[in-house]
Structure 1
Amino acid sequence: MQQIEQSTDGVVETESSFMDPPQRHLQSPRNSLKDQEIPQPPVKPKRRIIVEPVVFLYFMAAAACSPLMIFYVEKKVYERFHVNVTVSNSSSVSLCDKNQTTNDRLIQENAAMWNMYLTIAYMIPSVISTVVFGAHSDRAGRKPYLLLPCFSGVLYLGITALIVQLDLPLEYLLISNVLGGSLGGYTILFLGAIAYTADTTTDGQRGFRILVLDCLVLLGFAIGVVSVDYWIALDNQSDTAFLSKALVIGALLTVTAIYVVLFVPETVKQEPTAKLFSVKNIASVVSIYTTENSVTTGGNGTTGRRKWKLRILFASLLFVAMVLSPPIISIEIFYVLNRPFCWDAELLGTFLASTMVLMAFGAALGLFVMQHWWKMSDIGIALVALVSVMAASVLQAFANKTELMFVSSVLGMLALLIIPMIRAQMSKTVHPKKQGALFASVAAVETLCALLSSVTFYPVYSATVDIFNGAVFLAVAAYLCMGFLLLCVHVIYSRRRRPGRESLKIGDVLKRSYSSCQSSSAYSSVAEDPVHPGELVESNENESNVS
């Protein structure tokens, strides 16, 4: 809906509210549909579905690796404590068990610490490689960085399988994790997939297509984890089981790479002189937020405002990514395994599976309703989703029954919409040739936020578990509130009168209304600003008619 604001000096401003979606066309009553210019993506795709199977197959394989590593780490920790026991994915000590021994607690703490070490060893080099590879993809192409994670995943599995077969100490796993993160893991592939989507979609399509990628990540992750968990439960011989499962996962990654080679066309014109290890790659990422030539420009001094709006979106992403990260899921698992819930493995699995299904269903249905029925913009959708997740976090903080935890899953079913909508809005602000650098910065920030989340919220939970174990979820709600306020600032900043924008006086509006009844020429000169979708630009011809 268009809002007409009248100021005290007789000036009328037309402005889009945050409820409005990006408008692609402005058609006069006398113009036919065939005269409209249909917006085209930067690169016209050959097929409707291209990169989506890559995301699904890769994340199904990557997710299957996680239970295998947890299984092996737990086994080695038991051996260090000289406990000769067969460990399986179904054998877990309840946190509510009063007969739990001190040795059992030490084993669990030690295993958790080693999982944290391996995660850090993977993520720190991954942050650096994400920035370098992502910016380089703007010059070298998207396709190499859809292939690289597949090959690095096979290499990671090979080294890890060798360590397991030789029964080497856990310290050797740090080598495979550092190598896997340095060569580009799941962050690189998802970065490349989003940049590829930005290359082949219009502004109006982009939010939905990015959301589809996030849903495929969730679906692939769920199938991969459930499948390998079931396989581990059926196989008690862990030493030979790891090798057989690694071979299956490696074969799946190989199939993904073959699909990329045969069925994914390149969308970026490659530069032969593009260097991988160049200061220009880092500078390209930094320049997005510091210089004005990286944002889409439309003249009249508007680039500075768009640059600041991009910074506000980036700041909101920092707060949101801190809480929508894997460490929060781990804390949630500890929360429901402890008193007063004392869940068993079956109930926990039901809760996690139902939460994933609700998030995927809620994101798809919520986006359709808010975008097509309520005509909301990307930021408006993100604001509604933030309110949904904040309500769920507050309910979790004070929940004391199993039923309330499942209700919180229903309340937070829009969580998957937040980050994709912010990504889509950032993509619309940045120049098409800077999409790889943009999503490199976004992926690096999300990875870094996952690390910061673990060192921020784990201590909060540990310090308050005996006093008020739900305090950590109030902290989560506070972070979400900060992201919500920043997005509100973005909406207010966007609705202010832009510099260089022509103001229409009331008399001019009345004259224009009268002239529109005489001829269709009064509307023919009203066009959409190609840089700021949804805004009106008056041509010189129309100005002369009004005067």
Structure 2
Amino acid sequence: MAELPPGGSPQPGEGVPGPPSGCARLRAVEPVLLLATLALGVQTPLLTQYLWTRLANGTQGGSGGCANGSGAGTPAGQQDVEAVVAHWSLYINLAGFFVGLFSVTLFGPWSDSVGRRPVLILPALGMALQAAAYLLVMYLQLPVGYLLLGRILSGLSGDYNLILAGCFAYVADVSDKRSRTLRVAILEACLGLAGMAASIIGGQWRKAEGYLAPFWLVFAASLCAALYAAFCLRESVSQRQRGRLFTFRHYLAVYRLYVDPGRGSAWKKLALYSLAFFLVVTVHFGTQDILILYELSSPLCWGSDLIGYGSAARYLTYLTSLTGLWLLQRCMADTWVAEMGLLSNVLGLGVIALAATTPLMFTGYGLLFFSMAATPVIRSKLSKLVNENEQGALFAAVACTEGLCSLVATGVFNSLFPASLHFMKGFPFLFGVIVLLVPAAILGWIEIRDSKPEYSHFEDLPSPVQEVAD
């Protein structure tokens, strides 16, 4: 393995693109995540609303919305719109998942050899292509099926999940084990900061200008993320070598994380933490997918501005969770901080499930103030279980888990939502509360089991009487 020159940038011809010699290189990966999350935060709720607007014209319900003179005239027509939009959301997510599953596990381990910057540039460009495809559909009024093309283009380049994997692997490269949980939490707080801004901007901008202008922002933010990673970001992998991209070895690197016999009992913790992460993120994605539909329809009947404020309140939980984690780390173990985060999630979703008024809905959002504390703790614990040269493979596996979470969440919650409209509209949120009890039990069991040796070793010491007798 050849060592690179100071600064971590390869020389021309070594296979990994470097920034121009006159560009100041930074070790801050946060702008990449901020810009990519801004793009995703603007795009996701507006795409759901765009589908609502377009698809409602093809149902018996009229133009969608609530029965207030501008929407569906009957509850049955409104439910038809909700069901069609939920199903199209499922199709679009499926298209991205099956393509992204192979690209993320290919690019992630590859970054352990060639560096993190390439796996940040490619998916950002893919997101820009996806936004361009969406703009063509809107400008030309093409059938909504063409939205799948943009989703596939983004999936081929790794999509947003690869950006997450690259950013978290970058942080693992530049942090020690003691500070890693807080560093990961800071990175996740960037998700909330960008998402909160995106929600407010997207909702208000769509109300004033329609869909086209906000999606131009999505395109510009994605392109800026790619340019920053290409020209301004310093590489975090200090020793790199030329690595083949299209090789089965990258998939084996992810597979070996969980089956390598040399890890001892660590593979069990990897599996259990991965399961806990899967369940927590599945509930998060699933409830987020249906929140827009839940707020658009009766009895809430929110418009774009209230939807934007609601999304901003949801993203604000990233910042409040970071603050709480920083304070609570001083007096308790990371696992118990995560348990408190799960409790906050349970309480918030329980209130939202019963919310029939705007104040009660925002009360539910308020109770979610600490709900994002669990995921940075789990990411950090996973990162500490593998070697430094396996961070890319690990976070590629985590990214695939997140992609699977998106698929399962969309399939379960987007199918459960229309099916439960006739007996309890908020039932999917109660279902999420029940699911969260499982990761809470897993995290608690591992923490209690790991803490036992600290005390049980005293039981093996001989008593003073035995020492005298000996």
Query: What TM-score range do you get, normalising by the shorter chain?
Result: 0.7 to 0.9
Q: How does 1:14-93 map to 2 (within 5 A)?
A: 50-66=28-44, 69-70=47-48, 72-74=50-52, 76-77=54-55, 80=58, 92-93=65-66
Match of 1:256 in 2: 225
Is 1:407 equivalent to 2:407 in the alignment? no
Contact 2:195 2:315 in 1 (8 A): no
Higher mean C-alpha displacement, 227-236 vs 379-388: 227-236
Question: Using a 3 Å threshold, how does the CA distance of structure 1 residues 350 and 61 change in structure 2: closer, same or farther?
Answer: closer
Is 1:489 equivalent to 2:445 in the alignment? yes
Question: Using a 3 Å threshold, how does the CA distance of structure 1 residues 69 and 474 change in structure 2: closer, same or farther?
Answer: closer
Which deviations, in whole Å up to 9, do the C-alpha atoms of 1:295-352 show, x marking residues without a partner?
xxxxxxxx41222222221121122122011x31233444455565555555444333
- What SS does the corresponding residue of 1:204 show, helix, strand or coil? coil
Match of 1:436 in 2: 392
Deviation for aligned residue 1:108? 4.7
Matched residue type, 2:377: M
Q: Which has the larger radius of gyration?
A: 1
Question: Using a 3 Å threshold, how does the CA distance of structure 1 residues 162 and 378 change in structure 2: closer, same or farther?
Answer: same
Q: How does 1:178-257 map to 2 (within 5 A)?
A: 178-235=152-209, 242=212, 246-257=215-226
Higher mean C-alpha displacement, 453-462 vs 426-435: 453-462
Deviation for aligned residue 1:125? 1.2
Higher mean C-alpha displacement, 244-253 vs 474-483: 244-253
Q: How does 1:363-382 map to 2 (within 5 A)?
A: 363-372=321-330, 374=331, 376-382=332-338
Contact 1:95 1:338 in 2 (8 A): no
Question: Using a 3 Å threshold, how does the CA distance of structure 1 residues 186 and 95 change in structure 2: closer, same or farther?
Answer: farther
Contact 2:120 2:229 in 1 (8 A): yes
Question: Using a 3 Å threshold, how does the CA distance of structure 1 residues 350 and 267 change in structure 2: closer, same or farther?
Answer: closer
Contact 2:82 2:418 in 1 (8 A): no
Match of 2:310 in 1: 351
Q: How does 1:263-282 map to 2 (within 5 A)?
A: 263-268=232-237, 269-272=239-242, 274-282=243-251
Is 1:465 equivalent to 2:439 in the alignment? no
- What SS does the corresponding residue of 1:466 show, helix, strand or coil? coil
Name the CA distance, whole Å, in 1 between partners of 2:443 and 2:307. Answer: 34
Is 1:140 equivalent to 2:114 in the alignment? yes
Question: Using a 3 Å threshold, how does the CA distance of structure 1 residues 227 and 417 change in structure 2: closer, same or farther?
Answer: same
Is 1:100 equivalent to 2:74 in the alignment? yes
Is 1:158 equivalent to 2:114 in the alignment? no
Contact 1:379 1:425 in 2 (8 A): no
Aligned length: 441
Contact 1:396 1:470 in 2 (8 A): yes
Contact 2:300 2:358 in 1 (8 A): yes
Name the CA distance, whole Å, in 2 between partners of 1:461 and 1:228. Answer: 25
Question: Using a 3 Å threshold, how does the CA distance of structure 1 residues 407 and 249 change in structure 2: closer, same or farther?
Answer: closer
Matched residue type, 2:267: K
Deviation for aligned residue 1:257? 2.5
Contact 1:394 1:473 in 2 (8 A): yes
Name the CA distance, whole Å, in 2 between partners of 1:108 and 1:334. Answer: 7
Question: Using a 3 Å threshold, how does the CA distance of structure 1 residues 63 and 338 change in structure 2: closer, same or farther?
Answer: closer
For normalisation by structure 1, the TM-score amounts to 0.72
Contact 1:378 1:425 in 2 (8 A): no
Structure 2 portions without partners, runs of 5+: 1-6, 9-23
CA RMSD of aligned residues (A): 3.4
Matched residue type, 1:185: D
Which deviations, in whole Å up to 9, do the C-alpha atoms of 1:242-281 show, x marking residues without a partner?
3x65554433333322322332121222221x22222211
Contact 2:65 2:72 in 1 (8 A): no
Deviation for aligned residue 1:430? 0.9
- What SS does the corresponding residue of 2:98 show, helix, strand or coil? helix
- What SS does the corresponding residue of 2:179 show, helix, strand or coil? helix
- What SS does the corresponding residue of 1:412 show, helix, strand or coil? helix
Higher mean C-alpha displacement, 223-232 vs 189-198: 223-232
Deviation for aligned residue 1:462? 3.4
Deviation for aligned residue 1:56? 0.6
Question: Using a 3 Å threshold, how does the CA distance of structure 1 residues 203 and 355 change in structure 2: closer, same or farther?
Answer: same
Which deviations, in whole Å up to 9, do the C-alpha atoms of 1:128-178 show, x marking residues without a partner?
211111111111210101111222223223344344444433322222211
Structure 1 portions without partners, runs of 5+: 1-42, 294-302, 512-547
Name the CA distance, whole Å, in 1 between partners of 2:419 and 2:68. Answer: 17
Match of 2:275 in 1: 315
Higher mean C-alpha displacement, 208-217 vs 470-479: 470-479
Question: Using a 3 Å threshold, how does the CA distance of structure 1 residues 231 and 331 change in structure 2: closer, same or farther?
Answer: closer
Contact 1:313 1:490 in 2 (8 A): no
- What SS does the corresponding residue of 1:202 show, helix, strand or coil? coil
Is 1:125 equivalent to 2:81 in the alignment? no
Which deviations, in whole Å up to 9, do the C-alpha atoms of 1:372-394 show, x marking residues without a partner?
2x1x2222211121122223333
Question: Using a 3 Å threshold, how does the CA distance of structure 1 residues 263 and 470 change in structure 2: closer, same or farther?
Answer: same
Contact 2:115 2:240 in 1 (8 A): yes
Question: Using a 3 Å threshold, how does the CA distance of structure 1 residues 247 and 464 change in structure 2: closer, same or farther?
Answer: closer
- What SS does the corresponding residue of 1:469 show, helix, strand or coil? coil
Contact 2:337 2:373 in 1 (8 A): yes
Name the CA distance, whole Å, in 2 between partners of 1:408 and 1:134. Answer: 37
For normalisation by structure 2, the TM-score amounts to 0.82
Question: Using a 3 Å threshold, how does the CA distance of structure 1 residues 497 and 145 change in structure 2: closer, same or farther?
Answer: same
Deviation for aligned residue 1:445? 0.7
Question: Using a 3 Å threshold, how does the CA distance of structure 1 residues 49 and 417 change in structure 2: closer, same or farther?
Answer: farther
Match of 2:16 in 1: none
Contact 1:94 1:337 in 2 (8 A): no
Q: Which has the higher helix share?
A: 2
Name the CA distance, whole Å, in 2 between partners of 1:329 and 1:127. Answer: 21
Deviation for aligned residue 1:117? 1.7
Name the CA distance, whole Å, in 1 between partners of 2:193 and 2:295. Answer: 23
Name the CA distance, whole Å, in 2 between partners of 1:276 and 1:120. Answer: 25
